[in-house]
Structure 1
């Protein structure tokens, strides 16, 4: 599979870059939109774009019309939209989805063999396929150094293991609250505040679990 991108299609992320437009982009598995800067005026809602993130190049979907930063007094985005997603980007994206399933199974098998007390939730490649992120939950801190070595040998790319909390898990997998509705963290909450004992008592939650 050819993973080389045309560098001329990409927008360089120069320090202190001032973009005229801010664009809200959502990624799979993340309900929160993130802002990216662009000079392009032909971007529209529902377009798929390739953006630069801290994790690497990612493909996401524009969820709102681009806004003029100066007109609306918006904060300046620090990362750029690199280009509209090409046919090759879409093909790589779909291939990654399939290969993530295999990587997920490999990681689960290694966790079982090493008898690690952790529960794997997801596996996700960057668009360029040079890094994979495994998300998991665990009651205690896990020593996964041997797991990292085995995964690196099996998958031949950079590996990141990220532990998340129960509310982040609920946001990923969904669920029904005691009110009978879909969990707030799945529907709309993007930031989780600290929960006090009184809050838990008010919701009739068990405190000794």
Structure 2
């Protein structure tokens, strides 16, 4: 009896494509259909905010098993000259909408700061993104803007990191901010990451332009954790060819530790090869 491959002849999964809706925004998955899309190609998609022109970032590929295909929308079509024309028109509309919104915020003295305005490709809806310390009542502003602009108006509150992503700027390193140049998604950044890297817990040094912990604290965190495993902990008593003592400091990148010798209280720097054994605490 010939062996039968249970997967032979099984229908293949539909391919998906990752699309960005702005330069450094989150990547969204869409069903590619039979289209042979290339990276950098502009396509028309249906987003939560309405029809938008996006850019293909990851070409059609088979989806991971964890992706629920029933929740994905298909690519509408490859963007046309007409779509590009509407996109340019919307840029002028967005500038006017931002000006009007700022005026309404000042008139009503609402404690909120406008970040950006975003029109759908058909020009029927505009979404205003703002930051605020807490909840604010913007119903009168929405009503006024809807009557003036004659479109559907939506207000969305965003965080400080999202604001910095939109506005952009230069970091203390002298380069354009990661969030506004290439970083797609925000991941959690904690004080523990700074502590593991031996950085001084100075808020003014650890905070980025957004006022939150710098995203770059994550970049080398895993490397520091791995390198630190080979070093004896602070306060640990060790035996060393340069004299027994207690670890008072770690130099993670150099893979050395400073030991305060028991015999004379002197501090010496030793490598892992200099350590003979560890004494019990």
Fold shared by both chains (TM-score > 0.5): yes
Corresponding position of 1:100:
94
Match for residue 204 of structure 1 among 197, 202, 215: 202
CA distance in 2, matches of 1:147, 1:197: 42
Coordinate RMSD, CA, aligned: 2.7
- 1:72-128 deviation per Cα after TM superposition (whole angstroms, max 9, x unaligned): 657336111011111111111111111111111111111111111211111010112
- 1:14-35 deviation per Cα after TM superposition (whole angstroms, max 9, x unaligned): xxxx962111111125432211
CA distance in 2, matches of 1:173, 1:145: 25
Corresponding position of 1:193:
188
- After TM superposition, give the deviation of residue 203 of structure 1 in Å: 5.6
Corresponding position of 2:83:
89
Corresponding position of 2:118:
124
**Partner SS, residue 62 of structure 1:** strand
Structure 1 unmatched ranges of 5 or more: 1-17
Flag the 1:199–1:190 CA change in 2: closer, same or farther, 3 A.
same
- After TM superposition, give the deviation of residue 162 of structure 1 in Å: 1.1
Flag the 1:32–1:198 CA change in 2: closer, same or farther, 3 A.
closer
Matched, 1:152 2:146: yes
Matches within 5 A, 1:1-209: 20-28=14-22, 30-69=24-63, 75=67, 76=69, 78-186=72-180, 187-193=182-188, 195-196=190-191, 202=200, 204-206=202-204
Corresponding position of 1:3:
none
Give the TM-score normalised by the residue count of structure 1. Answer: 0.78
CA distance in 2, matches of 1:191, 1:50: 26
CA distance in 2, matches of 1:139, 1:199: 26
Greater relative contact order, per chain length (Cα 8 Å cut-off, separation 6+): 1
CA distance in 2, matches of 1:199, 1:131: 43
- The question of whether the paired residues in 2 share the 8 Å contact of 1:38 and 1:81 is answered with yes
